């Protein structure tokens, strides 16, 4: 098994250097995953991975090694557990802190079915900072069911883990008396011949009382779990010994395992954050081997918000465990007292921001579109209801790429745009983004979401720079018969589309909506001037700009042909961003083609009815 562990590490380091993926987290759980598969019988016993980004070894050990070259690619192996991919992937995941709840659901219904197998939820210390995990502990501790929770403690979330729990786990790990006592107990346990359940239970009791004497009871014991640990998660022998033992234990058990993120690849051990999620890299140097994207929207956000905070001391920044991903690292260094990493706790982040806004501060919560889903009620109930000035910097909105279904940022417009008091803007390029952030922080006063995509902040369309004004769109080009309305990065695609239409003899007008909410009243007035109106958005059609425009057309009985270019009611799988947009007809060539088809179709209809 040790040889296998070595081989798996080499395989991961070399394969991910080509495909990209979650390297450091997986290197940290090689021995743990081998031990789990050795001691338990998957898929009869259920392994439930939290987040699921660390499930690569599990995938290798369950027959998917040969597909790893397709990892995160269109049609390829998912980087997260997918029940459609293998019966060994029990629960589909991608967002954190769900594994104990899901595991408990499996366990209690197993009992109702009268079945007998183990359920093991494997959760990281980062994911344990999510409130959902504690809601689940609260229920599981008293549920009178067998559930094993493995806490994989590497002291890291994506960045260094934060908060009281993290310090607490650190104390548990390092309490010298406790560790000493644990070593003695292990020796004792190894010496005592196993003479049936009674003896085992007696030993557990001694262990419990010793634990109590040395570190008092752990917080997990108070929740009703039997806390075991800490155990070295890279020592196969210890892991196997303890897993075999807890497999037989009754009730909820929490095994605390400590591991090193990035284990076995010195560069990743040194900078686990840089190797959490990586693109292709050079193994020797660790440097990205593809072209590095500079000036992403996240970079521009970080730089701009830091500058704005330099001029306004009421600006505070909040992240839910994503300081570097959202571009806030620089802010954190420059204004440590005004920077708050709350852990993987999006719902808390929003209510926390509401409190800060109530006290006259301007909280800017930088968060990926997909993770803000977690905080819908807090946005509505704690922020919008009181019309508080909270700025939501909604990063990775639209198609995100390799992370797939669980991470696509396609739903934010749908879940934000119907909440009273909420304003939503989206920039077409870098300059407009900076203007919008400035507007959101300094001019506007209320809840506002600035929505921007993953990747490089566009430097194109610099000629169009109408000042950002509340609820006002930007008219880009005049035209006749055809009107195209787009916003965000789709404006660039709309311009390309217009060029293709112009080549084909049409003269389309173009509008950058800028505000998805509220829709510009002038824009609505414009609609009746065109025979054809088209909207384009990098989001699901439901609840976005398309439906708002369609509703205006219907309610005002405007006589125009309308068609929306947006994503249908789907969970969009993984793949390259450009490819996925093309797949759903949202690239310039497809849009232009469809517009010409609609326009020509309508003309044929008119001619036929005239005949
Ligand atoms: C709700 C939610 N917010 C944010 C993330 C982004 N995210 C993915 S992994 C991760 C860190 C998880 O840390 P931990 O559970 O300790 O696992 P490790 O990678 O350290 O093994 C974060 C913040 C997420 N997946 N889900």
Which DSSP helix (H) or strand (E) runs through 198?
A: helix 197-215
CA distance 397 to 516: 14
- The residue to mutate among 158, 276, 298, having the most atoms of ligand 1 within 8 angstroms of its beta carbon, is 158
How many CB atoms neighbour CB 424 within 10 A? 24
Answer yes or no: is pLDDT of 151 > 70.
yes
Half-sphere exposure of 500 (CA within 13 A, CB side): 17
- Stretch among 187-196, 382-391, 406-415, 570-579 having the lowest mean pLDDT: 187-196
- Are the beta carbons of 61 and 40 closer than 8 angstroms? no
Crossing angle for the helix pair 236-247 and 30-39, nearest 10 degrees?
Answer: 40
- Give pLDDT, residue 608: 77
* Over residues 158-169, mean pLDDT: 91
Q: What pLDDT, in 10s, does the model give residues 594-606?
A: 999 999 988 777 7
- Are the beta carbons of 93 and 81 closer than 8 angstroms? yes
DSSP string, 363-409: EEEEEEHHHHGGGHHIIIIIIITTT---EEEEES-B---TT-TTT-B
- Are the beta carbons of 368 and 399 closer than 8 angstroms? no
- Give pLDDT, residue 291: 75
Phi/psi for 510 (5° steps) reads -130, 135
- Give pLDDT, residue 604: 79
Percent above pLDDT 70 for the chain: 93
Q: What is the 3-state secondary structure (H, E, C) of 63-121?
A: HHHHHHHHCCCCCCCCCCCCCCCCCCCCCCCCCCCCHHHHHHHHHHHHHHCCCCCCEEE
**Helix and strand tally (H, E) in the chain?**
24, 17
Quick one: pLDDT band at residue 174, thresholds 50, 70, 90?
A: confident
Which DSSP helix (H) or strand (E) runs through 8?
A: helix 2-19
Answer yes or no: is pLDDT of 350 > 50.
yes
Mean pLDDT over the full length of the chain: 93
- The residue to mutate among 262, 321, 405, having the most atoms of ligand 1 within 8 angstroms of its beta carbon, is 321
Catalytic site residue 374?
yes
Domains detected in the chain: 2-179+220-258 (3.40.50.970), 297-451 (3.40.50.970), 474-610 (3.40.50.920)
2: helix, strand or coil: helix
Q: What pLDDT, in 10s, does the model give residues 218-252?
A: 999 999 999 999 999 999 999 999 999 999 999 99
More confident of the two residues 358 and 179: 358
Q: What pLDDT, in 10s, does the model give residues 552-608?
A: 999 999 999 999 999 999 999 999 999 999 999 999 999 999 999 999 988 777 777
- Give pLDDT, residue 213: 43
CA distance 355 to 533: 43
Question: Which residues are within 8 A (CB) of 94 and not within 5 positions of it... i.e. 6 or more apart?
Answer: 51, 52, 53, 80, 370, 403, 404, 405, 406, 407
- Are the beta carbons of 344 and 129 closer than 8 angstroms? yes
Q: What pLDDT, in 10s, does the model give residues 456-481?
A: 999 999 999 999 999 999 999 999 99
Answer yes or no: is pLDDT of 92 > 60.
yes
Closest-CA residue, ligand 1 atom 11, reads: 157
More confident of the two residues 435 and 607: 435
- Are the beta carbons of 365 and 390 closer than 8 angstroms? yes
Question: Which residues are within 8 A (CB) of 260 and not within 5 positions of it... i.e. 6 or more apart?
Answer: 28, 154, 234, 269
DSSP string, 559-599: --EEEEEEE-S-----S-HHHHHHHTT-SHHHHHHHHHHHH
- Are the beta carbons of 437 and 301 closer than 8 angstroms? yes
Burial of 55 (0-12, 13-18, 19+ CB in 10 A): buried
CA-wise closest residue to 372 among 320, 328, 419: 320
Answer yes or no: is pLDDT of 56 > 90.
yes
CA distance 576 to 74: 7
Ligand 1 pocket, residues with Cβ under 6 angstroms: 25, 28, 51, 53-54, 95-96, 124-127, 152, 154, 156-158, 261, 320-322, 344, 346, 371, 374
Alpha-carbon torsion 391, 392, 398, 400, what sign? positive
- Give pLDDT, residue 204: 60
- Pick the catalytic residue from 346, 432, 537, 552: 346
Answer yes or no: is pLDDT of 189 > 60.
no
Answer yes or no: is pLDDT of 82 > 50.
yes
Answer yes or no: is pLDDT of 85 > 80.
yes
How many CB atoms neighbour CB 254 within 10 A? 27
- Ligand 1: distance of its center to the CA of 138 in Å? 21
- Give pLDDT, residue 207: 56
Answer yes or no: is pLDDT of 178 > 70.
no
Q: What pLDDT, in 10s, does the model give residues 438-459?
A: 999 999 999 999 999 999 999 9
- Pick the catalytic residue from 374, 430, 517, 541: 374
- Give pLDDT, residue 610: 73
How many CB atoms neighbour CB 478 within 10 A? 11
Percent above pLDDT 90 for the chain: 87
- Give pLDDT, residue 198: 62
- Give pLDDT, residue 180: 41
Quick one: pLDDT band at residue 278, thresholds 50, 70, 90?
A: very high
Catalytic site residue 346?
yes
- Ligand 1: distance of its center to the CA of 452 in Å? 21
Q: What pLDDT, in 10s, does the model give residues 490-521?
A: 999 999 999 999 999 999 999 999 999 999 99
- Ligand 1: distance of its center to the CA of 319 in Å? 13
How many CB atoms neighbour CB 75 within 10 A? 8
> How far apart, in Å, are the Cα atoms of 56 and each of 49, 119, 209, 475?
11, 19, 38, 49
C-alpha 279: how far from chain center: 17
Answer yes or no: is pLDDT of 95 > 50.
yes
CA distance 567 to 577: 13
């Amino acid at each position: 098994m040790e040889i296998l562990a070595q081989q798996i590490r080499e395989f991961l380091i070399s394969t991910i250097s080509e495909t990209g993926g979650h390297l450091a987290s997986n290197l940290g759980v090689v021995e743990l995953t081998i031990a789990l598969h050795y001691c338990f019988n998957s898929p009869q016993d259920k392994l439930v991975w939290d987040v699921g980004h660390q499930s690569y070894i599990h995938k290798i050990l369950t027959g998917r090694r040969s597909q790893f070259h397709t990892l995160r690619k269109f049609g390829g192996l998912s980087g997260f557990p997918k029940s459609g991919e293998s019966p060994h992937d029990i629960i589909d995941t991608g967002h954190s802190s769900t594994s104990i709840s899901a595991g408990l659901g499996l366990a209690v219904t197993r009992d109702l079915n009268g079945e007998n197998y183990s359920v093991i939820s494997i959760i990281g210390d980062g994911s344990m900072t999510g409130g959902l995990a504690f809601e689940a502990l609260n229920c599981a501790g008293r549920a009178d069911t067998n559930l094993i929770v493995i806490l994989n403690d590497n002291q890291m979330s994506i960045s260094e883990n934060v908060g009281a729990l993290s310090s607490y786990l650190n104390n548990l790990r390092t309490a010298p008396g406790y560790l000493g006592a644990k070593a003695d107990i292990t020796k004792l346990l190894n010496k005592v011949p196993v003479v049936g359940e009674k003896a085992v239970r007696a030993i557990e009791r001694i262990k419990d009382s010793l634990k109590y004497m040395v570190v008092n009871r752990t917080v997990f014991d108070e929740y009703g779990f039997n806390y075991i640990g800490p155990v070295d998660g890279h020592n196969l022998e210890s892991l196997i010994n303890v897993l075999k033992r807890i497999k037989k234990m009754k009730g909820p058990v929490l095994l605390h395992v400590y591991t090193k993120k990035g284990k076995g690849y010195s560069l990743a051990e040194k900078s686990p954050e840089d190797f959490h999620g990586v693109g292709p890299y050079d193994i020797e140097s660790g440097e990205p081997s593809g072209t590095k994207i500079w000036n992403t929207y996240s970079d521009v956000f970080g730089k701009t918000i830091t500058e704005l905070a330099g001029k306004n001391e009421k600006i505070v920044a909040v992240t839910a465990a994503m300081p570097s991903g959202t571009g806030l690292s620089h802010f954190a260094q420059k204004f440590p007292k005004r920077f708050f990493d709350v852990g993987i706790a999006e719902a808390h982040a929003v209510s926390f921001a509401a409190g800060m806004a109530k006290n006259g501060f301007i909280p800017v919560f930088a968060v990926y579109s997909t993770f803000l889903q977690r905080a819908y009620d807090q946005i509505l109930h704690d922020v919008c209801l009181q019309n508080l000035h909270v700025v939501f910097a909604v990063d990775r909105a639209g198609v995100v790429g390799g992370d797939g279904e669980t991470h696509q940022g396609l739903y934010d417009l749908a879940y934000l745009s119907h909440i009273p008091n909420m304003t939503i803007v989206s920039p077409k390029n870098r300059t407009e983004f900076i203007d919008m952030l400035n507007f959101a922080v300094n001019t506007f006063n209320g809840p506002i979401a600035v929505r921007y995509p993953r990747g490089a902040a566009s430097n194109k369309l610099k000629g169009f720079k109408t000042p950002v004004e509340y609820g006002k769109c930007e008219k880009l080009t005049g035209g006749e018969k055809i009107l195209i309305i787009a916003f965000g990065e789709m404006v660039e695609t709309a311009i390309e589309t217009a060029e293709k239409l112009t080549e084909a003899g049409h003269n389309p007008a173009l509008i950058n909506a800028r505000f998805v909410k509220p829709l510009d009243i002038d824009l609505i007035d414009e609609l009746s001037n065109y025979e054809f109106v088209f909207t384009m958005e990098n989001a699901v059609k439901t609840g976005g700009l398309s439906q708002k425009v369609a509703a205006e057309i219907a309610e005002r009985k405007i006589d125009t042909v309308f068609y929306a270019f947006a994503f249908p009611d789907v969970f969009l799988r993984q793949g390259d961003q450009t490819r996925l947009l093309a797949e759903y007809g949202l690239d310039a060539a497809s849009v232009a083609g469809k517009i010409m088809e609609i326009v020509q179709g309508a003309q044929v209809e008119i001619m036929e009815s005239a005949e």
